Structure 1
Amino acid sequence: MTVPSDSSVDARTYVLDTSVLLADPQALQRFDEHAVVLPIVVLMELEGKRNHPELGWAARTALRQLEHLRLEHGSLTIPLPVNEQGGTLRVELNHQSTAGLPPTMAADNNDHRILAVAHNLRLEGYQVTVVTKDLPLRLKASIVGLDADEYRNEQATDTSWTGFVELDVEPDVIDDLFAHKEVDL
């Protein structure tokens, strides 16, 4: 791993946890010119949520996006372009040693593995921020001296085409729809 160059001083490295992708499967593209790092444990957690009745759709959508990037660019372990602003994404396989963290934060906990990745990247000179919807993880990050932000972009209105249009119609059109299972508009 190379230390960031002077030209990337303003660019941050955002280490995401699973909760971000479950809240917003499009999150990988929403970090502008910055680098997004997914610890490998995040992929494992997404895999575990694929069949969840409420979170499964988001997990499968995020995994499909990662598969698309893999097919388009090759290995996910090198920084891949994810948006027009110059942002990148990579999956981090290394940096999982919890040696620099308090002894109570052993590597037997997925949150601690994510913190270990962020901590070790920071030790290499990266400007690291942990991004999560998980309050306890943000608190732990702060305790070990890492910047941590709550992910809130899922609250923004997505203006991309969804395939649905909202129409105002007269009540008799709704009655016809229920009676005939279709209507001409």
Structure 2
Amino acid sequence: MLYLSGRDNTHTESWEFFCTGGRQSGYWTTIEVPSCWEQQGFGHYDYGRDYRTYGKQFRFSDEKGLYRHTFQAPADWAGKAVYLVFEGVMTDAEVRINGTPAGPVHQGAFYQFRYPVSDKLRFGGSNLLEVTVSKMSADHSVNRAERYADYWIFGGIFRPVFLEVFPGEHMLRTAVNAPAD
């Protein structure tokens, strides 16, 4: 396993970052990962209960965060199965490795997702990870499920990011069905 971010909020790594709206927006800088960009001084603050506008014209902020991070993939990983794992991104995440999409856009903030990336990595060399995070989901059902509540709405890569390495032939999951007869 190779962490690309820090392991938690007290052990972070600096990534390149660009926020499209709100505070400190419109230019490339750095941000600590994992974290929510609002807590690092970027973007807008939105409160979840504000879907009830009480006659006001209200719309949640829909800024995007663009992340870039360069990392090395060890040469001895060639021929192995490598997965890029995100433990939590708020909310939609479009992920690219060396300019190639890692997979479909992930939607939803509160669960882990992974992409097989062995065929996208440069083993023994430098690799570029690019992540575009949309604070609001393109899927309205995700927004309804994750936004209409009594809490602040944050954006960003708020949980660790890492590479998992397995032998070329492996099983990711097994299941046993043992019904009682």
Higher relative CO (Cα under 8 Å, sequence separation at least 6) belongs to 2
Higher strand share: 2
Q: Which has the larger radius of gyration?
A: 1
Higher helix share: 1
State the TM-score, normalized to the length of structure 1. 0.21
